[in-house]
Amino acid sequence: MKLIAQALLPDFLNLMLDTVFVVDTEGCVVFVGAACERMFGYSQEELIGRRMIELVAPEDRDRTLEEAQKVMAGVPRIGFENRYIRKDGRYVRVMWSACWSQEHQCRIGVARDITTRRLLEDRQAATYAVSEAAHRAQDATTLFEEVREILAQRVPVATFAVADFDSENQLQHWVFRKDSTHPWSAALSAQLLAICSDSKNRPEPFLMQQDNASSGLRPAGQSGTWAFVPLHSQSGYMGTMVMNSSTGVFYGDTDLELLRFVAGQVATAIERQRMHAELLRMAKYDDLTGLLNRRALQAHLRAALARCERRQAALAVLFVDLDDFKLVNDFHGHFVGDLLLREVATRLQASLRKGDTVFRLGGDEFLVLLEDVNSKEDAQKVVGKLNASLSQPLAIESSILRVQGSIGLACYPEDAAQVDALLAHADQNMYVLKRQRQRQQAQRSS
């Protein structure tokens, strides 16, 4: 009976769902169970004589060699996990129990495929990690860097990039790109963006394979070196994550399953950050003209005063109020009035230096901040330039409109040294000028 059992032992081993390996002192396979083909894609004949470490994922080789040394030192090991590269290039996750046979001078190990189990665990862990990263990250770049690191712990990531979709212009552009292998050519970048554009109508991640003959990309079946992950949220298509594994390593269905779940979290995080950025923009900028608004004025002016104080320089504020703007709204309507305000904003900006700033305070009131002015006379020259620009006729909605501005000037440190005092001085000078013009008009009318 013992002889029968010994004769049947190879058959028993080949019936096991797990795979039995026997490895010599050089790390070469001397025996392997038939389940190896299901787990690794290689037949028994292909594995016999091959060094096991060659099949281990590069990221796991150092710790796998350390584990092998412990086993060869006579320490049985149970539950060690590492990743192998299948014959088709995909990763498989393996749990080992192993011991050393002093008599036969070999390692005996039993390998169990835990890829599916780890996928479920990774899916949950990665989803949670991305959600946490989204709450921590203050900007999109930080978020994408953390997402890349989270994914790299679970799948091979030689390249990670994110293309953002501009829905207004229907264009894609890179907002994040990190490649640990080689720089992208302009041709490759353009091709990847074109694929990203096509992906906006695809709800699921998909794979592409490098075509060595044409140096381009072609559709892949169950495995590929490039993964494209469309990012869809409740607001619609947000962009596409692009990943490249590495030479000889392929993404497979299990990787796409993980990426599918992560994509939902990333899309939600991007949407949340966009909404937050829009709220910040609305808090600082005027919706109609795109200029900084009254809420942003105090912080900007304080910072400018601090700079001038350090450099012992001067600055000027110009309080601009449009004369008789109410008549434009009354006779031409608010739509034309809004167009007029936009044109005024454009003319004010066009008349200034690059470092000067225009604010819309509300209604028909604007404020101009001039930094590093040499004297009040220089600031008055800018006032004259602004008046000349504003007085030019405006063709709006088949109407020729003329507008005049009352501009009050105040200089730091000559007129005031504090923010509120400086603004009050400019405001007072503007109203003095406006009243003078009103009296002049009244005299001409009489």
pLDDT at 145: 92
Amino acid at the residue 129: A
Peptide bond into 205 cis (omega under 30): no
CB 30 within 8 A of CB 106: yes
pLDDT value at 190 more than 70: yes
Phi, psi of 362 (to 5 degrees): 130, 150
Amino acid at the residue 374: N
Any idea of the CA torsion for 60, 219, 173, 272, to the nearest 10 degrees?
-70
What pTM value is reported for the model? Answer: 0.59
pLDDT at 213: 46
pLDDT tier at 337 (50, 70, 90 boundaries)? confident
Residues 6 or more apart whose CB falls under 8 angstroms from that of 135 comprise none
pLDDT digits (tens, 9 = 90+) for 211-249: 654 456 766 555 568 899 999 988 888 899 999 887 667
pLDDT tier at 191 (50, 70, 90 boundaries)? confident
pLDDT value at 387 more than 80: yes
Mean of the per-residue pLDDT values of the chain: 86
Taking residues 131-141, report their average pLDDT.
83
- Looking at 158-172, 202-216, 338-352, 417-431, which range is the least confident one? 202-216
pLDDT higher for 271 or 216? Answer: 271
pLDDT digits (tens, 9 = 90+) for 72-126: 999 998 999 999 999 988 889 999 999 999 999 999 999 999 988 887 887 788 8
Half-sphere exposure of 239 (CA within 13 A, CB side): 22
Number of Cβ within a 10 Å radius of residue 433 = 19
Distance from C-alpha of 65 to C-alpha of 62, rounded to nearest angstrom: 5
Token pair of 126, please? Answer: 């990665």
Taking residues 282-307, report their average pLDDT.
91
pLDDT higher for 445 or 429? Answer: 429
Distance from C-alpha of 232 to C-alpha of 210, rounded to nearest angstrom: 26
Domains in the chain, please, with CATH?
18-113 (3.30.450.20), 118-284 (3.30.450.40), 292-445 (3.30.70.270)
Taking residues 135-159, report their average pLDDT.
87
pLDDT value at 344 more than 80: yes
Distance from C-alpha of 348 to C-alpha of 339, rounded to nearest angstrom: 14
Distance from C-alpha of 332 to C-alpha of 246, rounded to nearest angstrom: 65
CB 201 within 8 A of CB 228: no
Distance from C-alpha of 345 to C-alpha of 396, rounded to nearest angstrom: 15
Distances (CA, A) of 312 to 61, 376, 423: 62, 15, 20
Measuring CA to CA, which residue among 440, 348, 418, 355 is closest to residue 385? 348
Classified as helix, coil or strand, 121 is: helix
